[in-house]
Amino acid sequence: MLLIVEPRHTSLDRSYRRHRIPRVYLQWRVLFALLLIALGLGQSQAQSAAAGTPSLDRSLANGLRVLVFEDRRAPTALHMVFVRAGSLDETTGRTGLAHVLEHMMFKGTETLKPGEFSKRVAALGGRDNAFTTREYTGYFQQVHRDAVFEVMSLEADRMQRLRFSDEEFKKEIQVVMEERRLRTEDSPFGLAYEALMATAFQAHPVRNPIIGWMSDLQSLTADDARDWYQRWYGPNYATLVVAGDVDSEAVFAHAQKIYGSWQPKPAVDQRPQTEPAQIGQRLARVRAPAENPFFLLAWRAPTLTAADGPLRPENAKAREVVALAMLSTLLDDSDTGMLVVDLVRSRKLAVSVDAGTDGISRGPGLFTIRATPSPGVSPTQLQEEIRKALQEIARSGVSEKEIARLRRQAKAGQVYQQDSIFSRAMQAGRLAMMGRPTQDVADWLRMLDAITSEDLQRAAAAVFVPERLTMIELEPLSPDAQPRARQGFGPAVIRH
């Protein structure tokens, strides 16, 4: 199972981690993307891929939205179901439920035994997995095109007829708790990021970890998971995405056949939880066994929601969101990022610097910078150098040469994403879960041409305000430090 918890980088799709691709390979892919852009994306399939436009976008009578992307390049098909239920929808004392239910979805139905779902997919020569985010939960299977309708039927079965025993829940909740220990409590970055979210936000459920607080996991019951399933797993909260060597109308006809009887769920009464304005800097220190100190700097940043209108140049909020995405590339691109070039490679004040922003979300967002000082460099010194760089952008903007480079990089990255059916399906499903149109993919590319140095300057001045900064410092402990139970954030925050 996958947990998707980190703030993302620079495009519409922040749904998975950035992997360092071998440079020669990446250059060829980027050159190909730039060539498509230069040629105006001449062929129809290239146009559709670059724009992220589905071959079919239609809903069943019960509310299930069906998106299909036809791609004939390989005889494979990807089947995905997104459910608009994530950690943002959880309540106090019940955190972690969305992720726990994701695990339980593999524990049997009225006709399948625990674990049989994945065995059936593997027998078809396919692979399957699932993931949980703050905004939604997703399930996918990738198979040969001839098996796509079979996995559709398997998924439709567990979406409508999930059954698991109390005994299976008791075993699986232990797996989830161990996953929390591995990903968070035994991970310096996991602890620091959890502290960041809980410190930067006070009222909104975005402050809670996706995997849940340990005390909540310890008290969850099988009935809690069943209630979550009954509340959220309905066609009016779901989107089906199929991509690959398939026929759109045939996919929709089969979806109608196997999902058409799925009954909608009553609307959930969700009251707004408005995050109060931050009125001063916030600081938390985390102590944990680690090799090097590092810190996180985060400022509240705007996110595009369903209510924020189209991605158009006249939309001031959209301009700011795209400008912040470009700023993150300006700061931390592995080859040309100004913080990387200056602080890591030239002056060697930092081992690494990364930046990211949330962009599109159902909740509030952050612009985050993570930095690890070089040996002998104090965190305070490195923090000051980063602040100076941000202040300079807010004061003087960015050269037109830099803006042109950022546009090229962002466009190439966006087109490169469309070269993967998994990326296209993830991107479309994520937009659907946010209540955003798939047109955002094409509009994002057009917005890049509209962003100016003044936009980056305004965005930096509006976001990088000292009084709105939240900072987490990781103080490393010796690996053989005496283990102690976690008490909370601050000097006593350790578990190892």
Give long-range contacts, CB 8 A cutoff, 24+ apart: 192-198.
192/286, 192/294, 192/296, 192/472, 192/474, 193/5, 193/6, 193/296, 193/472, 195/284, 195/286, 195/472, 195/489, 195/493, 196/284, 196/296, 196/298, 196/366, 196/368, 196/470, 196/472, 198/489
Structure confidence at residue 334 (pLDDT): 87
Which conformational region is residue 100 in: left (phi greater than 0), alpha (psi within -120 to 50 degrees), or beta? alpha
User: What is the bridge-based pairing of β-strands 65-70 and 56-59?
Assistant: antiparallel
Structure confidence at residue 13 (pLDDT): 43
Domain covering 52-259 in this structure, CATH number: 3.30.830.10
Low-confidence ranges of the chain (pLDDT < 70): 1-51, 480-496
Identical fold for domains 52-259 and 282-477, yes or no, is yes
Structure tokens at 289: 């066994």
Dihedral of alpha carbons 449, 453, 458, 460, sign: positive
Structure confidence at residue 47 (pLDDT): 44
**Distance from C-alpha of 401 to C-alpha of 396, rounded to nearest angstrom:** 14
Structure confidence at residue 110 (pLDDT): 95
Structure tokens at 34: 């730039």
Structure confidence at residue 396 (pLDDT): 93
What CATH class is the domain 282-477?
A: alpha beta
**Distance from C-alpha of 149 to C-alpha of 483, rounded to nearest angstrom:** 51
Structure tokens at 163: 């059954």
Enter the pTM of the model. 0.87
Structure confidence at residue 53 (pLDDT): 87
Structure confidence at residue 269 (pLDDT): 84
Domain boundaries along the sequence of the chain: 52-259, 282-477
- Strands in 65-144 per DSSP E: 65-70, 76-83, 127-132, 137-144
